[in-house]
Chains A and B, each alone.
Chain A
Amino acid sequence: MIKAEAKNINFYYGDYHALKDISLSFPEKTVTALIGPSGCGKSTFLRLFNRMNDLIGNIKLEGEVLVDNTDIYAKSTRIDLLRKKVGMVFQKPNPFPKSIFENVAYGMRVNGIRDNNYIEEIVIRSLKQAVLWEEVKDKLKKSAFELSGGQQQRLCIARALAVEPTLILMDEPASALDPISTAKIEELIHELKKDYTIMIVTHNLQQAGRVSDFTAFFYLGELIEINETKKMFINPAKEKTQNYITGRFG
């Protein structure tokens, strides 16, 4: 089953041609790593799937972006419902200045859920899924800012899970974290793969190798190669990929 798909995508910031004729599909319950040097368009590509690029003015998109076989750029798309279905985790942990509990409850509250018993149940479930529950269960009313950076990032993952997305976008989720926190996030990705489809942008090639099933290599706005991660890292098809993963540029 294909969860999400990009068909012949061209994307422009003003005159700048940021993504060039990209077609790529994401099978359900897999992890796909998007790699490539800075400015190659991988983050822009990721943000197509929850329409975060819409927040920037003066952009142009050609081609089709499908999630669950529906064109998410169709006029009839409700962006709030799309973003409920497509969760996102950002590079820098960005908890709200609210309590730990309210951070996770936030997405449900803005989506109109009022039943407090249900909210509490989902908050607990999400914190457990994000492997944070044991560390915070006695201080749910405390400010989220009291948590460490790694804990904050897992809180942001719990927050994303609480609105019950099926596709999760991760934009360098571990790049601001220490190695131990990074390892925890990677373990978490392994767990989440059982239920969710995940796209992860990363600068860390070892990380891509550890967490992903598929890897897509972007360079200067073009998709150079997409393959199973194992094949890609052992025997890349393209010379550019070979050069990048062996550290000859990047």
Chain B
Amino acid sequence: MTGKQIRQSLAFSLFGIITVIVVAFLFVILGFIVIKGFRVISWEFLTAMPKEGMTGGGIFPAIIGTACLVIGSMVFAFPIGVLSGIYIHEYLKDSWFKRFLRMMTNNLAGIPSIVFGLFGMALFVNYLKFGDSILAGSLTLGLLVLPVVIRTTEEALKSVDNSLRTGSLALGATKLQTIRKVVLPVAFPNIITGLILSIGRVSGETAPILFTVAAYFLPKLPTSIFDQVMALPYHLYVLATSGTDMEAARPMAYGTALVLIIIVLLINFLASYLRKYLGKKVKMN
């Protein structure tokens, strides 16, 4: 082997080893949580209220709470994010305004989530007087993922071949007809993928719900959007840091972590499945 080839093999071996290490860490984390957590997982754990100072019973209200927050934040963020993405990508010509909007959405994505939490508390909880509620929490989480939804919508639209747009316009279609009938159906699978990935993000966030909705201990289910709820990530935080008997609650914490991880992983698998499935379907119609 020449020097060049040796350097190449060395370089690629190094890249390979690094990649394996990264993936290995993921498996270590998953394995750790699974080993520590699977023993407490039972039907009761998933469907019962917590009891005995959260050292026993289950996490049902936290699961329901997280589901409420996911749905609430998506109802808010999905339409607004998709419409903004369409406006930015399809309607705005290249100008300082477009660059400014892009920059601001990127900046919005970079703001620490605890800041969203504070802002949500100030605006939704106090100023608009929603109180600690599903509504306030959902709006705060919605704001947090808005830039994600806008960016994925833009990326999805960017991947639509421009010749489809010109082809449609050349037949006398308006821009709106072109977007509705040609561009969006093609971009849809990727937009949905973005939506699902942001659901994963929302279900795992703790800081934005800390001051806006999450309850420390609330063994009953919400009846309106102005109720407080427990939520999985915050429940995990509480179990790990501030229970009445933290040692006894430790297995419950691992169980909660496992449930949270499984939910997020399932959501990610669903996203990649839907992208493939819908992608095929679009071509057929």
Contacts and interface: CB of A to CB of B under 8 A. Distances in A.
B169 A84 contact: no
Contact of B171 (A84, A143, A145): A84
A160 B171 CA distance: 7
Interface string A89-111: 01010111111001000110111
B167 A57 contact: no
Given A97-B186, A106-B173, 12 more contacts: A83-B172, A88-B170, A90-B167, A92-B163, A94-B164, A95-B167, A97-B164, A97-B283, A98-B285, A107-B172, A110-B172, A143-B285
A97 B285 contact: yes
A81 B172 contact: yes
Interface in A138-180: 143, 145, 156, 159-160, 163
Contacts of A234: none
Contacts of B282: 97
A50 interface: yes
Contacts of A55: 166, 169
B91 to A, nearest CB: 13
Contacts of B174: 80, 110
B168 A110 contact: yes
B163 to A, nearest CB: 4
Q: What size tier do the contact residues of chain A reach? A: 20 to 34
A104 B172 CA distance: 13
Contact of B167 (A96, A99, A102, A145): A96
Given A97-B185, A107-B171, A110-B181, A90 B283 contact: no
A87 interface: yes
Interface in B171-207: 171-174, 177, 181-182, 185-186
A94 B163 contact: yes
B172 A94 contact: no
A105 to B, nearest CB: 11
B284 interface: yes
Which applies to chain B's interface (DSSP): helix, strand, loop or mixed? Answer: helix
A96 B282 CA distance: 10
B52 interface: no
Contacts of B163: 90, 92, 94
Interface of B: 93-94, 161, 163-164, 166-174, 177, 181-182, 185-186, 282-285
B170 A99 contact: no
A156 B94 CA distance: 30
Given A96-B182, A98-B285, A83 B169 contact: yes
A98 B284 CA distance: 6
Q: Which of A50, A83, A94, A163 has the most CB of B within 10 A?
A: A94
A110 B170 contact: no
Given A106-B181, A110-B181, A143-B283, A94 B167 contact: yes
A83 B167 CA distance: 11
A24 interface: no
